[in-house]
Amino acid sequence: MPASSRRTLSKPLSSAGCGLAAAKITPDAKSALIVVDVQNGFVTGGCLPVKGGEEVVPVINQLAAGFQNIVVTQDWHTPGHVSFASSHQGKKPFETTQLSYGTQVLWPDHCVQGTEDASLHKDLHLPTAQLIIRKGFHKEIDSYSAFDEADHKTSTGLAGYLKARGIETLYVTGLATDFCVAWTAMDGCKAGFEVYVIEDATRAIDMNGSLAAAWKQMIAKGVKRIQSGDLA
């Protein structure tokens, strides 16, 4: 049999009519959309603005229609939180300090519990979201990850919740790609979930090459990098 006719025995052409089109990913009942920290504090006008942060809102709103399970997170700090530069004498925002659990980047005061800065972006429209998980509420421990706080000991309870609900696959979106999104995605892998980060549904802080470093670490830990257009 000539090679040209044998080819028809393998994969059928996609219904899009183009043989090169990749198959779309369809989230199912065991999938959850994780929407990380889409709060006023991380968009234009916030206390710790991420460039273009608000641009993720329409992308996430549209993605949400395809998910049966949605979890939202909020950075939720005490006044005088250990991650604030203002809590450390002589320190300025974006400098680092050594804490008992390791190196901590020091931030402007942001997302203080109950403030407008900590509220979710007003245009985020996720009426079917089932859980809001707040993190970073222990005064002496930061938490970029929605799973484990920065001491790598204290759990937020999110893995237990997702497992109890039979969730196996996570699609992570939100702010910021190189901090809370990356740590959430990597800890999700560590906790045994299959994890995708939807790149165009995130924006980064990107200080001192942190975005490139975060992608390198995420890929090394098994996180899959996709675009919103890859989902059905």
Residues in the site for ligand VGL, rule: CB under 6 A?
Answer: 37, 42, 75, 107, 144, 175-176, 179-180
CB of 37 to ligand VGL, least distance (A): 4
Q: Which of 109, 135, 142, 187 is catalytic?
A: 135
Q: Is 11 marked active-site? A: no
CB of 182 to ligand VGL, least distance (A): 8
Q: Which long-range contacts (CB under 8 A, 24 or more apart) does 148-151 make?
A: 148/187, 150/99, 150/101, 150/102, 150/104, 151/100, 151/101
Using the minimum distance from each CB to Zn ion, give the nearer residue, 120 or 231.
Answer: 120
Crossing angle of helices 182-190 and 210-220, in 10° steps, is: 10
Q: Is 92 marked active-site? A: no
CA distances from 137 to 2, 3, 35, 83, 198 (A): 66, 63, 18, 11, 27
Q: Is 189 marked active-site? A: no
Binding partner selected for residue 117 from Zn ion, ligand VGL, none, CB under the kind-specific 5 to 8 Å limit: none
Closest CA to 50 of 228, 213, 226, 206: 206
CB of 166 to ligand VGL, least distance (A): 27
Using the minimum distance from each CB to Zn ion, give the nearer residue, 75 or 149.
Answer: 75
Could you give the residue numbers annotated as active site? 37, 135, 180
